[in-house]
Amino acid sequence: MSVPRLVVAAPATGQGKTTIATGLMAALRRRGLVVSGHKVGPDYIDPGYHALATGRPGRNLDPHLVGEERVVPLLLHGAEGADVAVVEGVMGLFDGRVGGGGFASTAHVAALTRTPVLLVVDCARSSRSVGAVVHGMATFDPSVEVVGVVLNQVGSPRHAAEVVSSVRLPVLGQVPRDASVSTPSRHLGLVPAAERALSAAALDPLTDLVEQHVDLDAVLALAATAPDLDAVAWRPPVRPPGPGRPVVAVAGGRAFTFRYPETEELLRASGCDPVVLDPLHDTFLPSGTTGVYLGGGFPEVHATGLAANRSLMAQLHDAVADGLPTVAECAGLLYLCRSLDGVAMTGAVPADATMTERLTLRYPEAVAASDSLLTRAGERVTGHEFHRTHVTPEAGSAGLEPAWLVDGRPTGFASPTLHASYLHTHWAGHPQLAERFAAAVHRA
């Protein structure tokens, strides 16, 4: 299958990958092209900006979460109907899972998908040294093809000329410093686009910047050199239709901005009807709800507003207690706890959450601690955690079993109708989780 495509990578975090990748997506879309946006790794925030830029769902490509064999099919799935795909990398080009020899790095995904790499380099504090960095990046791994460079944070024309003279690859752009295109950050990185309630017009200054300083024709020419992919696009397995389509309330709004698009696609294919629930504003579950999916987000930022919606919290508490099939990942776990930093939450899980100074960031293989709504004891699943909160107790309480064993320690809460933990999983990589949840919803 033919898909013109480029990976946008960098030597390290903080070089401007998200700025340039998102700006390219928006600028190419402004040209009238259909653009597919992708992100290497588990991150939810950058795909939100990609979706804003492209008008299509932002997609993740992560060998750890879905397995190497599904990366190309998921790329093809996301890029169906697109004129060009832009894949934003993660961290530095060759940085992957710790101890994994570059596994799940941007370079790994570029090699799996046979995608040329456009390198973004921050030039703010160097000049000719940029040439050495680019040379090292381009020659470090023969399986990775670095085909061009965008110089970011360029100062004067004299500075730019000095940098360009040192680089032996095509320089496709020289982007100057511009504070107007910065994105606000907080304790876990960029503030999600959905939480800021942005429209596509909010990206106009960034789009203008990229249009003025990056050679889009050259970008498209390099994207067109990507070879055809001998694979079939991923499709969610379709469940034979049954009577009706049970409603699954899927948390959304400003407090719950994180979920993979494939999650809802799997639920639809399994005969369910995902309906977005905004726990900040919707006072009751959607009519006919027979399952709940509470994904990731920032309830710690919106705790007061969530607590003020007492009718929804009371209904959800009772529904979980009555056995409504419920999945909660990270933010969803916090929302189901009794309290979050002293603010009353739903109380469906007998635990309390507090903010901490310590960042938990891990990319583990988790082992199912028991048979539950989603899992079977001993089953292994890959996932990721990213949070600055702590739950007490950490696992299993008041009739609930631990959800997982991670690094040998029990974590989370599970039962035949509930699965709540910090671990984020990608259901396209572990479709049995979606199938079991959907089956429970149909039974309910």
CA dist 347 and 292 (Å) reads 15
CA dist 255 and 373 (Å) reads 25
CA dist 18 and 8 (Å) reads 9
CA dist 111 and 298 (Å) reads 34
Residue with tokens 């309390």: 352
Strands 185-186, 189-190: pairing kind: antiparallel
CA dist 284 and 314 (Å) reads 9
Which of 303, 271, 308 has the alpha carbon at shortest distance from 290?
Answer: 271
| Strand arrangement of the beta sheet that strand 171-176 belongs to | 59-61, 35-40, 84-88, 5-9, 117-122, 146-154, 171-176
Q: Supply the DSSP symbol for 384.
A: B
Single out the catalytic residue among 123, 272, 330, 337.
330
Q: Report the Cα 128 to chain-centroid distance in Å.
A: 35
Q: Which structure tokens are listed for 189?
A: 């990185």
Clarify whether 123 is annotated catalytic: no
The values of phi and psi at residue 40, to 5°, are -75, 135
Q: Could you report how far apart the first and last alpha carbons of the chain are, in Å?
A: 41
Q: Which structure tokens are listed for 4?
A: 């013109």
Strands 171-176, 146-154: pairing kind: parallel
Question: Which residues are designated catalytic?
Answer: 330
